[in-house]
Amino acid sequence: SDLTSTTASSPKSKEDQVVNGHDEKENNPFAEYMWMENEEDFNRQVEEELQEQEFLDRCFQEMLEEEDQDWFIPSRDLPQGIGQLQQQLNGLSVGDGHSSEDILSKSNLNPDAKEFVPGVKY
């Protein structure tokens, strides 16, 4: 008996609900367009949000530029005479080995000493 009552009432309720694409219970068929009534307020709000976003973007960009000034960037911060320094470094040479023997003969280090191990006491 329950099945017959639900089937009999459901088609009728569907017909009652939809008339010309709108619910009968819906008071205003233009409800979805009501935001246009306050279009100026809506536009003003959107413009304020866009201006706020632009302001935040400018602040963020200024912060990045200030941070860049604090960082050391060799290409920007080193003097232009780097080429001269590079030539001087290239002009330096390592000895041919005879000078290292002279250093060893003048050294006061003990060649027979134990190997140094950090943290170990002898």
Region class of 117: left (phi > 0), else alpha (psi between -120 and 50), else beta: beta
Task: Enter the pTM of the model.
Answer: 0.34
pLDDT > 90 in the chain, percent: 16
CA distances from residue 95 to 91, 102, 103 in whole angstroms, order as listed:
13, 11, 12
Structure confidence at residue 85 as a pLDDT band (50, 70, 90): confident
Contact 50, 43 (CB under 8 A): no
**What's the length of the chain?**
122
Task: Give the domain ranges of the chain.
Answer: 30-116
What are the pLDDT digits (tens) for 19-74? Answer: 555 555 668 888 888 878 888 888 999 999 999 999 999 999 999 888 877 777 76
Q: Pairing between strand 18-19 and 22-23?
A: antiparallel
